[in-house]
Amino acid sequence: MCDTVVALGNTTKDGSILFAKNSDRQPNEPLLLIHEPKKTYPKHSTLRCTYIEIDQVEETHEIYMVKPSWMWGCEMGTNEHGLTIGNEAVFTKEKVNKVGLLGMDLVRLALERCTESEEAIHCITELLAKYGQGGNCGYEKPFTYHNSFLICDKTSAWILETAGNYWAAEKVKDIRAISNRLTIGENYDLAHPELISHAIEKGWHKKGEPFHFAKSYSDFLYTKLSGSFERASCAENILQTKKGEITADTMKEVLRSHHSEESIHIHAFSVKSICMHAGFIYGDQTTGSYIISLNENSPMVGWVTGSSATCISIFKPILFTENTNPFFREDDPSALHFWLIREKIHRLLMKAPEDIITNYNEERKEIEASINDLIHKNAIQTAWGLERGFVEKYLQLLEPYDNNPIKGNIYYKYYWNNQNKRLYNKHEKFFVNKTDVLV
């Protein structure tokens, strides 16, 4: 599950395009901050993606990506030209292939190979036609789906939605939110040449009637159970209310929103929340968040959490023009370490008293406000240092509660006790009680 939103320059306060995404995945799945430089390759070389091998191009662009630790592809990212892409799981009537390119592979491939949003659409759809999409996307349990994409550059944004090898694309006019559902209806700008005829052949569309992509190709039950309607509506309502004054803070508000009105959101699990908390038989956890501001006349600026549960995380700035960006190379174990340290805080907060959580959140807001002030001074390393100090402090303060029971109903406790056991067993050295090992 995921949510991705965009606001074009005609709706934002400073005229920039703002992109934001929460990556909702299985709770124990690390989501890493990775930077890969521009590279060249010999002619006729091949590339191993998550499951299959494909033809490699001779040159790839520099990219910054947020990616699941175990797969080749990424959930969201930006390249040196400002091309930015995020993907969503969607559930369709088309059969999911047992093997193929994952949606995350397609995101990374387009970022590595393209410079503009419409070019990325053609890249992804050509890859779909040649290799297909498919394969298990789950970390600890199988999960398969098709994909939609929100693609933007410094001047435009597009929605690309797929059902197997079939697809439709729509150019964004002002604001747009996508979630785990097909959203393109009768009005689209580009499409697979056999999109309508295939639907007629399958009996999903009646010839002669107005064609509606989402109605024809959506799997109703899985789409309904995903809670995607509520999440997308929530995001669009926030953006619509602030149209013309949308800022990065607006995007943070979107990514931190909850369906529940409970005061302590860390325990408020619901697939209807954009800031998703796991704890039910289906549904995922927000394992990382990403925002970027794109403008033709100024450098790109981004914000990333590098941690799960957006509502208890701190957004840290990225200036893509700096050589000291705190992203990691793909083979650097520090990338995993970074996420796991912050995940320990998440798991400890689930056991902490309410007053501790309240203090934590108040101080988190103060730190983030200080970080926002530092962005204007280009003091990126200082900003990240503030967050690191906050993390070190709360690892020590929360450690005494590690043996406390998780709060919540019986099912919720059972669910998270099992999650903790699996995570701790897999990454035992990161979850010992000595904070000097962790930081």
Q: Are 290 and 304 in contact (CB under 8 A)?
A: yes
- Rounded Cα gap, residues 172 and 209, in angstroms: 25
- Structural tokens at position 44: 């006729």
Spatial neighbors of 338 by CB under 8 A, at least 6 apart, are: 32, 33, 306, 328
- Rounded Cα gap, residues 276 and 263, in angstroms: 15
Q: Are 377 and 383 in contact (CB under 8 A)?
A: no
- Structural tokens at position 92: 């369709």
Q: Between the CA of residue 75 and those of 72, 114, 316, what are the distances in Å?
A: 10, 17, 18
- Rounded Cα gap, residues 315 and 370, in angstroms: 11
In DSSP notation, 307-365 reads: SS-GGGS--EEEETT-S--S-B-TT-THHHHHHHHHHHHHHHHTTS-HHHHHHHHHHHH
- Structural tokens at position 59: 């040159």
Q: Determine the Cα angle at 350 with ends 417 and 5, to 5°.
A: 105
- Structural tokens at position 12: 């934002």
- Rounded Cα gap, residues 84 and 79, in angstroms: 7
Query: Which amino acid makes up residue 150?
Result: L
Q: Which of 214, 237, 222 is nearest to 5 (CA)?
A: 237
Catalytic residue among 2, 114, 123, 311: 2
Q: Are 28 and 139 in contact (CB under 8 A)?
A: yes
The reply to whether 2 belongs to the active site is yes
Q: Are 232 and 1 in contact (CB under 8 A)?
A: no
In DSSP notation, 215-234 reads: HHHB-HHHHHHTTHHHHHHH
- Structural tokens at position 83: 């091309």
As annotated, the active-site residues are 2
